[in-house]
Structure 1
Amino acid sequence: MSTTRRTRGKSRAMLDLIEASHKILAEIQPATVRAVCYRLFTLGLIPDMSKASTNKVSRQLVYAREQGIVPWEWVVDETREAERVSTWHNPDEIINAAVRGYRRDYWQDQPVRVEVWSEKGTVRGTVAPVLNEYGVTFRVMHGFASATALNSIAEASNDSEKPLIALYVGDYDPSGIYMSEVDLPERLGRYGGKVHLSRIALLPTDTGRLPSFDVETKAKDGRYDWYRTRYGR
């Protein structure tokens, strides 16, 4: 990455941050700013995931894109994406698109259905290559999933003859753990859903090699006492 002329006046620390962010995005793009922040945090390049730290990264990524260091399409903002219906110039165009987009559903021959659920959309860029290769459905729960979304999943699980296995990815903090251990199983059960939920990340075995912060920083979280009792500080 040749950035000498475009980053004149930047401190060494900011240059290193931009360079590290570029390397991360080259691997996981398209990704959100927060996804980049998570990676920077695990690398020890930002001290925490506080608003001050993530805002600093956000500002540098804006600068990097404006200067042409990082391609604009590498960073996505899922909260502000435009939505519109698909339109076509003529019938031949939609037929050609359908032919190009055809892909056999290999899961129709499997005894179960598998989906990956994520607390946040920040991991999409990381897991997308595997999901795309195997045609696995990806659901972003956006924190505590809505009743509407969970009821729809529960109904679909009852309409299908195949068991549904949901592989869950979430934060290792009071709310993140509570979502997969208590909230989702309880509400899916209440709605009559037939879903086998299995948390695959983050797990206790992952935490030993990652930077951590004291649970006291989450003291205002409604699940703080529940987490502290079970997992300590």
Structure 2
Amino acid sequence: MADLTAVIRGKEVATPDKRPRGPQPHWRPRRETLRVLTAVEAVLERYHDHLPVSLRQVFYVLLGDGVLDKSERSYKRMCEYVGMARRSGRIAWEAIRDDTQIAVDAPPCFTGPAGFWAAVASAADDYRVDRQSGQPVRLELWCETAGMVPQLARIGEQFGISRFSGGGFDGLAGKHDAAVRAAAGGTRTRVLHVGDRDPSGEHVFAALAQDVAAFAAAADVEVEFERVAVTAEQVATYRLPTAPPKASDRRSFSGTATTQAEALPPDVLAAIVREAIWAHRDPEIHRQTLAREEAERRAIRLAVGRWHAAGR
């Protein structure tokens, strides 16, 4: 393959390696690549209701299926295969969640009044009340890995629960913000946490719980932390893959082997998180809240329709 170049403002700039760039519609995978990709596609189909999933989650499922061996080399090769499959159009871009994905925040704009009214109608359809109102405890979902946020968001949305990833809460400001939210909530706050079972994961969880609780106590509110996953019992129950702790990590650890949260299959993780949420929800209050929300949504739709019909 010839050296690749990029064109920036009319000038050719040599790329740092010979890897393919941009779309690759004519790519044809070799036999081994095709074997792995076929297995990857089967995983994406199996967990269609939980997409997008992270590459680590796909990798752990393939380990359990006996398609790959547990090595960093196998993981990197799988990532390369999936990357080319996405470039070629074989795997949909939206099926995989990238931890390094760039956040996009575009300002709102409309093509004209018709587009505005369509947006207003859509907003009416999306009307939501605070689904945690009246519950005995206000919940938040926190996870160590950013790639798992979309899956937790899908679960938490049903209950009106906010989701946060490691990048959003392990800094000093993030911990303080958590205490501020707890103070504004008007009731106890309980954080349901999903993280790796390793020295780093345990240290992060303990540090978070202690620091947030201290900030909250200063504001005369209570914040509790609950480790939802990964636990030692889950590692044994679901026979999750493990690895020895890193020799360089001297921090205390309650176990003898480590397991990443992404080793839990997406459907299993969803069931675990949903069960933890229901353990702190009053079903009747939840039902009444949803009924009130639907009644108010219908009233808003009617009001929007009358406003639009009047030509205002």
When normalised by structure 2's length, the TM-score is: 0.62
Residue of structure 2 equivalent to 1:141 = 166
Partner of 1:155: 180
Which residue in the other structure is 2:278 paired with?
Answer: none
Distance 1:132 1:39, change over 3 A: farther
- In structure 1, the partner of 2:104 is 83
The separation in 1 between residues aligned to 2:86 and 2:255, in whole angstroms, is 41
**8 Å CA contact retained: 2:141, 2:152:** no
> Normalization by structure 1: what TM-score?
0.81
| Aligned CA distance change for structure 1 residues 114 and 213 (closer, same or farther; 3 Å) | same
Cα deviation, residue 16, structure 1:
3.2
Kindly report structure 1 stretches of 4+ aligned residues shifted beyond 6 Å: none
Counterpart CA distance in 2 for 1:84 and 1:165 is 30
Q: Determine the C-alpha separation between the residues in 1 that align with 2:216 and 2:76.
A: 42
Q: How many residues align?
A: 219
Give the unaligned 5+ runs of structure 2. 1-25, 258-312
Distance in 1, matches of 2:36 and 2:88, equals 15
- Does residue 226 of structure 1 match 2:247? no
Cα pair distance change 1:119/1:168, threshold 3 Å: same
Q: Based on CA coordinates, which of the two structures has the bigger radius of gyration?
A: 2
Q: Within 2, Cα distance between the matches of 1:134 and 1:16? A: 40
- The one-letter amino acid of 1:69's match is R
Correspondent of 2:52 among 11, 30, 33: 30
The alpha-carbon deviation at position 213 of structure 1 amounts to 1.2
2:40 pairs with 1:21: yes
Aligned counterpart for 1:210 among listed residues 233, 240, 261: 240
- What secondary structure does 2:139 align onto? strand
How far did residue 123 of structure 1 move?
Answer: 2.4
Q: Is the 8 A contact 2:141 2:163 kept in 1?
A: yes
Alignment of 1:177-216 (within 5 A): 177-180=202-205, 182-192=206-216, 194-208=222-236, 209-215=239-245
1:210 is aligned with what amino acid? L
C-alpha contact (below 8 Å) 2:99/2:147 kept by paired residues: no
Q: Relative to structure 1, is the Cα distance of residues 47 and 9 closer, same or farther in structure 2, using a 3 angstrom cutoff?
A: closer
State percent identity of aligned pairs: 24
Which residue matches 2:70? Answer: 48
CA–CA distance in structure 2, aligned partners of residues 87 and 74 of structure 1:
26
C-alpha distance in 1 between matches for 2:65 and 2:230: 16
Letter in 2 for 1:29: L
Any stretches of 5+ residues in structure 1 without a counterpart? none
Could you tell me how far apart the structure 1 residues matched to 2:243 and 2:179 are?
Answer: 36
Q: CA deviation at 1:111?
A: 2.1
For 1:106 and 1:185, the matched residues in 2 are separated by 25
Over residues 37-85 of structure 1, what are the superposed CA-to-partner deviations in whole Å (9 max), with x where a residue is unaligned?
Answer: 34334444433363x3332121111122233321122123242324224
Cα deviation per residue 1:137-165 (whole Å; 9 max; x = unaligned)? Answer: 21112397111111001112123211111
Q: Is 1:71 aligned to 2:92, yes or no?
A: yes
Q: Note closer, same or farther for the CA distance 1:204–1:53 as it changes in structure 2 (3 Å cut).
A: same
In 2: Cα distance, 1:125 partner to 1:82 partner: 13
Structure-2 separation of matches of 1:166 and 1:196:
6
The worse-fitting range, judged by mean Cα deviation, of 120-129 and 171-180 is 120-129
Distance of aligned partners of 1:110 and 1:86 in 2 relative to their CA distance in 1, 3 Å threshold: farther
1:163/1:203 Cα in 2 relative to 1: closer, same or farther (>3 Å)? Answer: same
> Cα RMSD over matched residues?
2.6
2: CA distance, partners of 1:127 / 1:16: 30
Give the deviation of 1:36 after TM superposition: 2.1
